[in-house]
Amino acid sequence: MELMWPAVFLLQLLYLPFSVNVYTGSGNRTSNQSDVIIADLLEVASSKTPKSPVGGKGQDVCSIPCDVTAKLLRDDKNSLCGQIQQSLLAYGRSTRKMIRDVMDEQQRALDFLTTQVTELITKMQTLSLEVQRSNTEMYAVKPVQSHGRDCSDIKDSLVSVVPKIPSGIYIAHPENSDSSFEVFCEMDYMGGGWTVIQRRAEGLVDFKRPWEDYITGFGHLPGEHWLGLSQVHQILNQKETRFQLHIALVSHDDETAYASIHLGRYAGSAGDAFRGYEQEQNQDTAPFSATDVDNDGCVPSCSIHNRTVESCSAQYNHTGWWFNQCGLANLNGSPGDRGARPGGGGGYADGGTHILWDTWTQNGVPHLIKSVTMKIRRIPTNN
């Protein structure tokens, strides 16, 4: 039925002349009316939507071929994928740039903070040195015009006239000595009367010295110094006198300890590194050695913990000490490159300390020592 409208249209066209004649013959219609009829028929024909000749009922005929539609869909898909890919690439580039900018900003901030920390550390070190210098300046820099055989004798001679005897530089003139010399006397430590023969603290004085320097002495008396073997010998060689050696130690974590030695007897909290744990470590009666005078007992060499050592002074960066096959003590040690310490603990190469007193330990490991003072004091002869 749906396909009959063309036939009806044709029949109407065939019928048109007859109907025109009829209307004309009757005299009731004009020729213009036929034109109106034809126009109406054309309008009806144009308003009809063609039906699919093969599709099911109610389905419209494709106005665009299916292969063209598929191609258009593929083109749209490819275009959309390309746009997404370009967007992702642009996003990735912008994200990487943002991350680089953030990292650069953080690196600049880190560099700035590092510079600030370095400057602060430098200022702290400078202030620390200034404090240490100011502390030493508190002592008498010019010698006190008070003579005595040693600091113990000076203290005994002043105690009756001076209520509080200050620490500082005094003039010592040992008995049977042809000359006098300046010494630093500690008058406020454990009863006073101590003659300082060695002091290490801020590391400003180099202890890498030849034999002659260790004989005559070097350094700055209110600060780091070595009094000199000649001066020490004159003090200790006085008649009818006995002296006690006192060693005060301070570690890098501000722990303190001491060793007091008198006539081979030890007392204290730091252990007796002079005598060590074994006979070959005993420095109690060992002669002094320096880089150019070798009395260390290593003839021609020593085997220290499977290491061959020809010179203990060279092993300890050319410093002087009472070495006996190196041993466990060297309070004159100087920073420098060397192997592990002979005692088996830390050393310069592994970041250890250069001031050694290896019987002062914590959990079996020698303390890292930052400062030391060696001093002697006269004791009653009846002790």
Average pLDDT over residues 27-40: 50
Is pTM beyond 0.75 here? no
* pLDDT confidence bin for 131, thresholds 50/70/90: low
Cβ(240)–Cβ(249) below 8 Å: no
Cβ(317)–Cβ(335) below 8 Å: yes
* pLDDT confidence bin for 9, thresholds 50/70/90: very low
Which pLDDT tens digit goes with each residue over 71-124? Answer: 777 777 778 888 888 888 888 888 888 998 999 999 999 999 988 888 888 888
Per-residue pLDDT at 258: 96
DSSP H helices in 139-182: 151-158
b/e 138-160 (16+ beta carbons within 10 angstroms → b) = ebbeebbebebbbbbbbbeebee
Say how far apart CA 152 and CA 366 lie, in whole Å. 33
The closest alpha carbon to 154, from 168, 142, 138, 140, belongs to 168
Helix, strand, coil abundance in the chain, percent, nearest 5: 35, 20, 40
* pLDDT confidence bin for 325, thresholds 50/70/90: confident
Which pLDDT tens digit goes with each residue over 261-297? Answer: 987 789 999 999 988 888 778 888 899 999 999 998 8
Per the listing, tokens 């204290």 go with: 268
Per-residue pLDDT at 119: 85
